[in-house]
Structure 1
């Protein structure tokens, strides 16, 4: 099956060029057509409509949703910031993300630490210091003597 061929054509018609309109070949029907065409080019009260930019159309809805707050704020600040708007928006977003990350980790370390009452949370263990021959503490014996000393997660220190 062959594909249909179509020729590109302008919506302006043959009398868009100034010389074509002034060479005397334009009829009253052509003038009427041109008048209608010029009238059709006027914008209505609801135009121009705001459309998504090409970069926004490439983003999925979830990404557009989490970018919306900063996009909204920086669209209002664009007249003041000028060319620096995108750079400033980028770095403000990164600083806010880093701040939320630090706050989240701090909260979890402080209020959701791993102990004997729950399995979740951060369990932070320190390594033993290295003790070599010739050191006054050599051989360093472990302070954990009984099997119950291992993995107690603070149970021995609980007020029960």
Structure 2
């Protein structure tokens, strides 16, 4: 293993501790330098800046974007929920995702059903009622006529 080419150094300079400043070698130029150094250590009006946490830096921008709404809400709820914040946020996201999926599927099956006017959409079939011996329509297996098969709602169209 090779040595690093440059070693870290203190930005405080040679007079970091008080004894070095009191031994008599501390000049007016050193005092001026130290005064500038201490002034530079004061925080500005825009500091400290908030940084991304390590977990956020690992996420790509798209993932951060779709996680932002729940992250924002649960960051405000964190003082109330305490340690349960992450678990609650996890399950809230799963329930919202499942709800959106149910709404999407409901919309799709309601407004994109397969009919005679187009070839797209899912064909949804209903099951026939069971016919058992002893029921009034026992020998009749189906209530459909041959002209009802492959109709796809054409008979009920307003044309």
Give the TM-score normalised by the residue count of structure 1: 0.69
RMSD of equivalent CA atoms: 3.6
Aligned length: 153
CA contact (8 A) 1:108 1:122 kept: no
Residue ranges of structure 2 left out of the alignment (5+ in a row): 134-140
Give the drift of 1:40.
1.3
**Partner of residue 23, structure 2:** 24
Residue ranges of structure 1 left out of the alignment (5+ in a row): 129-134
The answer to whether the aligner puts 1:49 opposite 2:53 as a matched pair is no
Distance 1:9 1:125 in 2: 77
Give the drift of 1:105.
0.7
Give the drift of 1:58.
2.9
Structure 1 counterpart SS, 2:80: helix
Distance 1:15 1:108 in 2: 74
Distance 1:34 1:84 in 2: 48
Give the drift of 1:13.
3.0
Distance 2:122 2:93 in 1: 27
The answer to whether the aligner puts 1:13 opposite 2:13 as a matched pair is yes
CA distances 1:31-85 after superposition (whole Å, capped 9, x unpaired): 4433332221110111112233333333333222222211221222222222222
